[in-house]
Structure 1
Amino acid sequence: MDRRPFPLRHRSLLLPARIQGAHEKGGVEGQIGWFRRNHLVPIPEVDSLDELNAMVDAWDEADDARRIGSRARTVGEHFATEQPLLAPLPTEPFETGRWFTPRVDRYAQVTVRMNKYSVPARMVGRQARVLLNASDLVVFDGRTEIARHERLMTKGSTRVDLDHYLEVLLRKPGVLPGAKALEQARASGRFTPVHDAWWAAACKAHGDADGTRALIEVLMLHRHLPHDHVVAGLATALRAGALTADAVALEARKYNDTADGGADDTTADHQSLMSGDRARGEGEIPAV
């Protein structure tokens, strides 16, 4: 079911149904008004549509215990009676999004509905397939998903993923400190104070350029290991004064093995992965 930031799946809107015909238009509109006044006034402040949808789900579940007017049964009890009588969902998925085929610009971004979204730098100059949904945007290279962003609702905005630019930044590390992609990564919590602390120590030990390149290699580890494992590896390496990407990879691997209770070969060939990533970097440094 399409997850929209609006309580269209609110159970009380389905009840009661009448075999002779539809006579609940006023009741449905009244319940929409009730839900809006009780849950959406004042307008909730959330960081994402996913957070808002989770709140709507929680309100919907809590509403099962409510009685509408003087009815003897609750919303949940009515729904349990009606559910077996509802038409089954279609067996084939129905795509509700809209497709676009924009060309990736020199900054590794596609423009959809007057907003810009980043894609991996290797896509510069190529045509991508973009599926725009109500709450997110998915970018494909052929049939392979290569990027996913939360949909921007304000025209003229830009959403960029720092990971998409790492190969380019390896060649020009001086661009990273002022990059919009880094700013957005910090704001989202993906680039943590632990990243910053390790980066500062690496720059002090190796110089700004080499220290930043080491950080970029660390950021590439996020492609192969869970985010919290890499952060734990960074923290351990920082305490030990180990200021190389290989040291962080080792500590992250140890944490990964401890957390999963078994071996994981995602970083065993770290050097070959890094060499392959460098080889795939294309395009100009993005103005982000």
Structure 2
Amino acid sequence: MHRRLVREALSSPVPKPRRSPVRRSPRLEPFKKTIDDWLRADLEAPCKQRHTVRRIVSRLEEELGADVPYPTVRDYVSARRPQIAAEAGAPADGFIVRHNRPGADAEVDFGEVWVNLSGTMTRCYLFALRLAYSGKAVHRLVDRTIGVSSVVEVA
């Protein structure tokens, strides 16, 4: 390693942030306002009628005579679509983290299964319990005719 890198590491445990280059796309620059207008109009349109990147590229070629590569338009649209939605006040995509308390939540199912017992197909009933926190499962198989019960544990 170079001594300059060692000196920087000794002076601060947190590395300096890297500068990301600002990339420009001169072929797309004149059409950015038009694409933004299409994306704003898409906020009001039904889901099936919104512009895909492929449709934007084809409209640029057909209507405006632009020769812009697909990856350039794709990168611009993927960056601008969330920004335009945020400017318009559209709800952001998100998720809810599910927290299960130990021993508090479980999933239970009960049904019938056919089992080969001593060469004959027998209808049995299956009780399945799965604990949501640990993922441990317990299954109980009951044959109603002869009262056989067995427990099968699955890790």
TM-score by length of 1: 0.20
Larger relative contact order (CA 8 Å, sep ≥ 6): 1
Larger Rg, first or second structure (1 or 2): 2
